[in-house]
Amino acid sequence: MIALTPVAVFLTLLVAGAPIFLVLGIVAALGYYSSGQPMIGLAQKIVDEMNSATLVSVPMFVIAARIMDSGGIARALISAANAWVGQARGGLAIVCVATCTIFAAISGSSVATAMAMAVIIVPAMASRNYPTPFTLGVIGSSGTLGILIPPSLPMIVYAVITDTSVPRLFLAGVLPGLLQAGLFVTVIMVIARRGNLPREPRPSLSEFLRANVVAFPALLLPVIVLGGIYSGYITVSEAAGVSAIAASVIAVCIYRELNWRDLPRIVTESIRTSATIMVIVAMAFGMSHWITETGVTRALVNWVNDSNLSSWQFLLAINVLLLLLGMILETFAILLLTLPLIAPILPALGIDPVHFAILMIVNMELGLLTPPIGLNLFVLASTAKVPVATVVRGVLPFFGAMFVLLMIVTYVPALSTFLPNLVYGVTP
């Protein structure tokens, strides 16, 4: 009975469209109050959990992504990718996938990746008479790579909640991310052949070299960030700070599309975005602690053990749940609502938390493309000034490819765990 009232309030607020941080905070406070626990315990739990060096990396990666978005870095990457693969039929679409793959290795954000590509790729593809739904579908789908290929903001939050190694999670996203990019290119090649989409002119040797030389500083960013983490010289939070500083220097001093006076504005906007994430995380910690105290997680673990549910059945059910939640909730809300309940069940079923993290990330990628909430859909519809339905039509073929990826990730755990186990050893 104690838990019933908070659950009813939770569902009511969610259906009413209340902000997710408010839903989590009110339910946590009500849960503590109704169970007779002192409210100071809730505040202390939130403070203790938020005192995390890993969470410091979130605003730093957000700042780096915003600087790359407006500092000429995306433009340089697109030019280099075009020099390499633009001559294929549907070349600009393949360029978009390739650029998003590289950009994702720096930004950590799907929406930032999609926005950076949209500003440049949409006009370029429109001038070459690519169908508008196809153009927006390519950008929206490729943008989701921003949360699968490391660094990834949702992976960082997952790591904090489940006490999982961030470097292991980052490595786990590499092979699935590359496979996703490969599936997208395959879809593009099929559509390009059927629709007789245009090719880009082959660049001269001097143009090819110039595009690659110009992109070289931008390509150094993922090498600096990820190389620093995996070499052990810097932590994830330090790497995030390095990425923000390096992106600032490259944008201001090399590409010169920003000046030092622009940086305070960009930092302010980034902090505002980061604060939104942090408030949600803080409230989720409070709710997670209340759920643990009520014994709900223990009851769920016992139920799974008693029901003899196999791991493949459990993962199938979780996929269905996450796909449904992706239609109505945004990425961090899904993570923070479900993990406190699901994470304790994983050991009982022998499911590697690193493998499960990638499964969740792919589901959240699908959520970014699923109406009515899908953020990438609305970002692109707003940028291109077209109805959301136009973006949805373009996304559908790529959605199918991502569903194939989800099934592979779900039932071939080695795709996610091979690299982490190779580098760091198998977890006991």
pLDDT digit of tens for each residue in the chain (428 aa)? 444 566 677 778 767 777 777 877 888 788 777 777 777 777 777 777 777 777 888 888 888 888 887 888 888 999 999 999 999 999 999 999 999 999 888 777 787 788 778 888 888 999 999 999 999 999 999 999 999 999 898 999 999 888 899 999 999 999 999 999 999 999 999 999 999 999 999 999 999 999 999 999 999 988 888 888 888 888 888 888 999 999 999 999 999 888 999 999 999 988 887 887 788 788 877 777 777 677 666 676 677 767 777 889 999 999 998 988 888 777 887 888 788 888 888 988 899 999 999 999 999 999 889 876 677 888 788 878 888 889 999 999 999 999 999 999 999 999 999 999 999 888 75
Q: How far apart are CA 220 and CA 35, in angstroms?
A: 53
For residues 237 and 160, the answer to whether their CB atoms sit within 8 Å is: no
What local confidence, expressed as pLDDT, does residue 2 receive?
Answer: 44
What local confidence, expressed as pLDDT, does residue 189 receive?
Answer: 96
What local confidence, expressed as pLDDT, does residue 338 receive?
Answer: 85
What local confidence, expressed as pLDDT, does residue 4 receive?
Answer: 52
What local confidence, expressed as pLDDT, does residue 135 receive?
Answer: 94
For residues 35 and 2, the answer to whether their CB atoms sit within 8 Å is: yes
Q: How far apart are CA 179 and CA 197, in angstroms?
A: 24
Judged on CB neighbours under 10 Å (0-12, 13-18, 19+), 212 is middle
Our CA angle for 79, 84, 90, nearest 5°, is 85
For residues 335 and 360, the answer to whether their CB atoms sit within 8 Å is: yes
CA 164 to chain centre: 17
For residues 206 and 428, the answer to whether their CB atoms sit within 8 Å is: no
CA distances from 423 to 170, 229, 287 (A): 12, 12, 35
What local confidence, expressed as pLDDT, does residue 316 receive?
Answer: 93
Indicate the domain borders of the chain. 38-424
What local confidence, expressed as pLDDT, does residue 148 receive?
Answer: 94
